[in-house]
Amino acid sequence: MQLIDHQIRLQLPAYWPRSLRPEALNRMDHQTPFLVCDLETVRERYAHLTAALPGVRCFYAVKCNSEPELLSAFDQLGSSFEIASCAELQMLQKLGVDPERLLYSNTVKPAAHIAESFAAGLWRYAFDSEGELYKLAQHAPGAAVYVRLRVDDSTSLFPLSRKFGAEAQEARALLLLARSLGLRPYGVTFHVGSQCTTTTTAWRQAIAAVGRLLSRLSSDGITLEMLNLGGGFPARYVESVPSIDQIPTPSSRPCTSCSPTGPSCWRWSRGGTWWPRARCWSAGSWVARSGPVRTGPIWTSAPTTG
């Protein structure tokens, strides 16, 4: 970025979408600041993701960006959705999305939200504790449940394992408890952390951990149907990041031993921020620049609106 004759000259990378370049933003008649999203590029990234992960069904995490236009775009593409609250469920219902297509992946849910979503037709719920299982058994009897497995997320920019997830042995015990409570042991989910930059190893290690858990569950007479690959797919901001094509799946060659029964149709992905993150931008107005020029990072102040 350079300051020339009181004008800001931006040096944008080649991959920057044309629809989000300054000349395009200047034509938008909106008071700044505002957030703009290129839906066509989001559609292209969805196609890229589905091509890179063959046989994997995609779920968009509504909490990432719940704008109705974006949700409608994913619905039209055939994506399913993941919710974290009943407020998100209600947004999707207004758009005509069938609750049967949803995953409720928040591992800590109010009892009232469990009851409301179950009554609406949602039937798959995440958990990582005994207490959550007892709530589900009471308010969503017979529901399908999937355990969140704690995995190594130390190579991500925003680790989540300190907040969510059960260790492998605990996860096994929880699925056995779920069966005894009349719930349906359905699957496993994990998360390698947000903005994971070691795609060649993080998912492979996590999938291998799932494979070991499945082997133990097989001896317990439990066969699961779903593996949720979670999120964490890195999006490019300034520095280069690994490509989505480098992420291994259970059907990829290094991971074919994940399931004791071999690759099957139980692979799911919770793609969330990877789709819109790199194609949603905040537009603002340059009000002033302090002088003399200071060294160090450039700070911006966005005026409040509303």
Residue 66: exposure state from Cβ atoms within 10 A (0-12, 13-18, ≥19): middle
Domain annotation covers residue 269: yes
**Letter string b/e over residues 73-105, b meaning 16 or more CB atoms within 10 A of that residue's CB:** bbbeeebbbbbbbbebbebbeeeebebebbbbb
Contact 217, 172 (CB under 8 A): yes
pLDDT digits over 155-171, tens only?
555 555 566 779 889 99
Which pLDDT tens digit goes with each residue over 35-47? 777 888 889 888 8
Give the model's pLDDT for residue 1.
41
Number of domains in the chain: 1
Q: For position 179, what pLDDT does the model report?
A: 98
C-alpha dist (Å) from residue 92 to 41, 64, 88, 190, 218? 22, 14, 6, 24, 36
User: Is residue 124 domain-resident?
Assistant: yes
> Is there a domain that residue 122 lies in?
yes
In a domain, 192, yes or no: yes
**Position 216 in a domain:** yes
Other C-beta atoms lying within 10 Å of the C-beta of residue 68 = 11
Yes or no: say if 164 and 107 are a contact pair by the CB < 8 Å rule.
Answer: yes
Query: Is 301 part of a structural domain of the chain?
Result: no
> ∠ CA(44), CA(48), CA(52), 5° rounding?
175
For 265-281, b where at least 16 C-beta lie within 10 A, e where not — what string?
ebbbbbbbbbbbbbbbe
What residues in the chain have per-residue pLDDT under 50?
A: 1-7, 250-251, 253-257, 259-267, 272-276, 278, 304-306
Task: Output 28-36 pairs: Cβ under 8 A, ≥24 positions apart.
Answer: 28/283, 30/283, 31/305, 32/283, 32/284, 32/285, 32/302, 32/303, 33/282, 33/283, 33/284, 33/285, 33/302, 33/303, 33/305, 34/282, 34/283, 35/280, 35/281, 35/282, 35/283, 36/280, 36/281, 36/283
The structure tokens listed for 305 are: 């609106």
- Quote the pLDDT of residue 68: 95
* 104, 108, 114, 120 alpha-carbon torsion, rounded to 10°: -20
Q: Is 240 inside any structural domain? A: yes
What is residue 21's predicted lDDT score, i.e. its pLDDT? 72
3-state helix, strand, coil in the chain (%, to 5): 35, 20, 45
* Cross-strand partners of 270: none
Compute the chain's Rg from CA coordinates. Answer: 22
Q: Which domain covers residue 237, as residue numbers?
A: 39-278
What distance in Å separates the CA atoms of residue 111 and residue 140, rounded to the nearest whole number?
Answer: 9
CATH number at residue 266: 3.20.20.10
Check residue 2 and give its pLDDT. 40
pLDDT in the model for residue 218: 92
Does residue 12 lie in a domain region? no
